[in-house]
Amino acid sequence: MIYNFLRMIIYIPLVFIYIFNRKKREFLKKRFFQDFKKLNLRENCIWIHCSSVGEVNLTDSLIKKILEKTENDILLSVFTDTGYETAEKKYSNNLRIKIIYFPLDDYLSIKRILKNIRLRTLIIIETEIWPNLISLCSKEGRVILANGRISDKSFKKNQKIKFILKSLLCEKIDFFCVQTEIDRERFESLGADKNKIKVTGNLKFDIELENFSDLEKEKLKNDIFYNKKKIFVCGSTRTGEDEILIESFKRLKNYILVLVPRHLDRVNKIENLLEKQGISYKKYSEIENVSKDSSLDYQVLIVDKMGVLRKFYSIADITFVGGTLVNIGGHSLLEPLFYRKTPIFGEYLQNVKDISKEILKRKIGYLAKNSQDIYEDILKIEKNDLDIKEIENFFKENQNVAEKIIEKI
């Protein structure tokens, strides 16, 4: 009651924001004014809630297993616009899957959703603790936290509100499928019943990425006019990382730098950065499928299109994974490894801590703190052959996480 009372107070300034701020009005409109009657999921339904594009990609194997092994329909809710676009691209043609924007934990909106579906299980991916979502769904079906994790930073914050979390964790959530023993201990210390917690591993190891043919990879190389240069792909870069990567690149010979920003609204800033340094560049949208022209010579390619990072990883000679040189916590280290590329990454690894430790232990990736480290790591990669067998063992030893989660549905 207190939580929803506070939400009502917050709604007052939101009304003015909705009226006077066009950008935020679109954001709120998409989430609060959806037609949930169109859902019409009257059979047993599994509701999977994701935050952003990372969690949408993470659930690939889980959704596939649910569709294969059960007759349940799936409702997929997503918080961000990029996450929603990714989900639409993946599943819009599947009649058993409906996609919605998450209505920001609005009590009445969630009630409306539950009126139009027959809920069997709510699966929350990672640690999206939304009180109204959890409380209302727990009255209709089971609630499972999947791929659960608590970072060091979040754990310190959550300890301060342990008395609030305890009722949700103990009474409303039926089972916790967590990534590591550390996560199990942390959930238990916050009030979760130890008998309801199981270490099932990380869904990231269940990734089944596209296998691109040699013809597809050669076409992409020709599309970007690489002119037989080596390709340095920097994926999911964040603000503050591009400068460091460019400094490393400037010391390399016979390379093309491919910058793939995590958010496309940063493309203009990257363009300005390159122009100030007198570095020639092209945007992927400008040269994709364009007939080859000798005038299209450049040093840096800015990828201003969603959904192509993995293909670029597949043709890379060197890969860097973003969100790690700045305090974001890291994006998927497994994607370049899937394509048998040695990832370089920074020291901010909260989101991928256990995976990064294992990668470094097996010597199938490199840690860098600055542009000099990145340059030196690239030289090491050029000299050393990648241990393909060690990567294959790495994936083999961490499989079938989705199967373990489905057992609890």
Residue 268: C-alpha distances to residues 112, 224, 246, 283 (Å): 40, 20, 16, 10
Q: Which residue has the higher pLDDT, 337 or 351?
A: 337
Confidence of residue 289 (pLDDT cuts 50, 70, 90): low
User: What percentage of the chain exceeds 70 in pLDDT?
Assistant: 98
Q: What is the pLDDT of residues 362-406, one digit of tens each?
A: 999 999 999 999 999 999 999 987 788 898 888 887 778 999 999
CB atoms inside a 10 Å sphere around CB 183? 23
User: Would you say residue 291 has pLDDT above 70?
Assistant: no
For the ranges 167-176, 257-266, 319-328, the lowest mean pLDDT is seen at 167-176
Does residue 235 contact residue 322 with C-beta atoms inside 8 Å?
A: yes
Query: Distance (Å, rounded) from C-alpha 320 to C-alpha 314?
Result: 13
DSSP type of residue 340: T
User: Would you say residue 103 has pLDDT above 90?
Assistant: yes
What the chain holds in terms of domains, given with CATH numbers, is 43-201 (3.40.50.11720), 214-396 (3.40.50.2000)
User: Would you say residue 163 has pLDDT above 90?
Assistant: no
Task: Check residue 298 and give its pLDDT.
Answer: 93
Confidence of residue 320 (pLDDT cuts 50, 70, 90): very high
**Continuous segment of H or E residues that includes residue 175:** strand 175-178
SS3 32: helix
Task: Check residue 151 and give its pLDDT.
Answer: 82
* E strand map for 66-112: 73-78, 97-101
Task: Check residue 346 and give its pLDDT.
Answer: 98
Beta bridge partners, 74, equal 46, 97
Give me the chain's average pLDDT, please.
92
SS3 363: coil
Task: Check residue 159 and give its pLDDT.
Answer: 87
Task: Check residue 258 and give its pLDDT.
Answer: 98
User: Would you say residue 293 has pLDDT above 60?
Assistant: no
99: closest CA among 138, 25, 49?
Answer: 49
Q: What is the pLDDT of residues 40-97, one digit of tens each?
A: 887 899 999 999 888 998 899 999 999 999 999 999 999 999 999 999 999 999 999 9
Average pLDDT of the segment spanning 154-182: 88
Q: What is the pLDDT of residues 125-135, one digit of tens each?
A: 998 889 999 99
157: closest CA among 198, 127, 195, 182?
Answer: 127
Q: Which residue has the higher pLDDT, 398 or 30?
A: 30
Task: Check residue 295 and give its pLDDT.
Answer: 57
User: What percentage of the chain exceeds 90 in pLDDT?
Assistant: 70
**HSE-up of 77 (CA within 13 Å, CB side)?**
28
Task: Check residue 395 and give its pLDDT.
Answer: 85
